[in-house]
Amino acid sequence: MQSFRDRNGFDRDAVTLANWRTSPYSRWAFAHAGEMIPSTRIGGAGADPLSRATAGGIPEEHFDCVGFSGDLRGFLSHSQSDALLVAKAGRLVMEWWADHAYPNRPHLLFSVTKSVAGLVAGILQDAGELDVARCVGDYLPKARGGAYGECPLQALLDMRVSLDFSESYLDRAGDYARYRRAMLWNPPEPDMAPENLAEMVVSIRKGTEAHGGAFHYQSPNSDVLGLVIEAAAGARFSDLVSELIWRPMGARGDAEITVDAAGHPRTAGGMSALAEDLLRLGLLMNAGGGGLVSDRWLEDLRTGGDDAAWAKGNYHDYIVGGRYRNQWYMWPRPSRTVAAIGIHGQYLWACPERDVVIVKLGSQALPQDDALDDANIAFLPWLADLVAG
């Protein structure tokens, strides 16, 4: 049997809460998040693996973007990718794994988790258990008095919350470091009182603007959404994902989500799943929600979202002309493409007009790398066009 060091290039005890999201340790840790952080299971259906009968290798095609010109394999290496799966017309047509990857282990999805939470919220909305016209404080009395108490749920879902918070992923001393400690993703500081994720997020103060303004990406919004979901449904988020999505869609494997010391889920970025099960989720979105979510909700997702709010927001130059709705990204109109995106190179891209789904997972050294992020945003539609012919 191959030793841990031979397999990964370092010893297991070298990976700690202080370094697990940094290279080279992230290549292992992103496939073993449940070993680093308390996590709860999201039960799958134990379905058969996707058929590989129609899957091919990586074609010898040339791709050009800022900072890269070369073949497809070269770009996957350049963009520090772990996996690429592509489906056309519901069939797996392309599959690639990095040498260091773990194909049969759940991979950390980071903020792709937000989109799963948005889908759960949509299912609860269809069932009459969640009213997006109501405010967060109606479901979470403990949020009253903070930034979120009077925030309408639709503004929360669309990242149009006025929040006094700085989303700085490399922060070691301020808001984001405190946030990471509360979710147990960073080691505790001996001179700081411990707090759990729920306590931390509801304590954030409101910004100076009114809720419902420009798009502003703030991860605590999605953790508050998870708390609202659990309060509205009277069930744990992990069980809801299992019962409402993972099992009905026929997931092959169990997924998992990290939790804080009190068991609150990290719905902004703590979910891990098999790459092929993430592809199944994309296929479900292309197939009209697979009966799990209403046509009304899916049509609102694909055509809704405020163009002006996006244009005024802090990601306007990331997807130019795009939108954000219910925790999903939309490509510019008239495209009906939806995308779920996470830091360190995680992408789920579902394009119904081409009938293509792309899953691209990574372990980028930086959580946000403008050059690589822009390259990936260009790569996804280019690859879909290539596959669609």
pLDDT band at 58 (very low <50, low <70, confident <90, very high): confident
Residue type, 228: V
For the cut 70, the answer to whether the pLDDT of residue 46 exceeds it is yes
Q: Could you read off the pLDDT of 221-230 as tens digits, one per residue?
A: 999 999 999 9
> Torsions phi, psi of 339, nearest 5?
-140, 145
For the cut 90, the answer to whether the pLDDT of residue 57 exceeds it is no
Q: Could you read off the pLDDT of 290-310 as tens digits, one per residue?
A: 899 999 999 999 999 999 999
Residue 42 pLDDT: 98
pLDDT band at 32 (very low <50, low <70, confident <90, very high): very high
| Distance (Å, whole) CA 132 – CA 125 | 7
| Distance (Å, whole) CA 277 – CA 255 | 9
Share of the chain above pLDDT 70, in %: 99
For the cut 90, the answer to whether the pLDDT of residue 322 exceeds it is yes
For the cut 90, the answer to whether the pLDDT of residue 378 exceeds it is yes
| Distance (Å, whole) CA 215 – CA 156 | 10
Average pLDDT, the chain: 95
| Distance (Å, whole) CA 257 – CA 306 | 30
Residue type, 78: H
Region 94-120: what's the mean pLDDT? 97
Beta strands 107-108 and 271-273, pairing class = antiparallel
| Alpha-carbon distance values, 97 to 4, 24, 309, 360 (Å) | 19, 17, 38, 10
DSSP symbol at 211 = T
pLDDT band at 192 (very low <50, low <70, confident <90, very high): confident
Ordered domains of the chain (ranges, CATH):
4-388 (3.40.710.10)
For the cut 70, the answer to whether the pLDDT of residue 164 exceeds it is yes
Region 271-288: what's the mean pLDDT? 97
| Distance (Å, whole) CA 198 – CA 195 | 8
Region 241-267: what's the mean pLDDT? 98
Residue 171 pLDDT: 67
Share of the chain above pLDDT 90, in %: 89
Helix (H, G, I), strand (E, B) or coil at 346: strand
Region 238-250: what's the mean pLDDT? 98
List the Cα angle 372/356/72 in 5-degree steps: 40
For the cut 90, the answer to whether the pLDDT of residue 63 exceeds it is yes
> Torsions phi, psi of 378, nearest 5?
-75, -35
Region 217-242: what's the mean pLDDT? 98
Region 197-211: what's the mean pLDDT? 95
Sign of the dihedral defined by the CA atoms of residues 181, 245, 128, 299, in that order: positive
Look at 193 and 120; give whichever has higher pLDDT: 120
**Residue whose entry in the numeric block shows the structure tokens 């990242």:** 159
Residue 6 pLDDT: 95
Q: CB-side exposure of 372: number of CA atoms within 13 Å? A: 23
Q: Could you read off the pLDDT of 115-162 as tens digits, one per residue?
A: 999 999 999 999 999 999 999 999 999 999 999 999 999 999 999 999
Mark residue 225 as left, alpha or beta (left: phi above 0; alpha: psi -120 to 50; beta: remaining).
Answer: alpha
Per-residue exposure over 178-197, b if at least 16 CB sit within 10 Å of its own CB, e if not = bbbbbbbbbeeeeeeeebbb
pLDDT band at 169 (very low <50, low <70, confident <90, very high): low
> Torsions phi, psi of 273, nearest 5?
-155, 160
For the cut 90, the answer to whether the pLDDT of residue 282 exceeds it is yes
Region 192-220: what's the mean pLDDT? 94
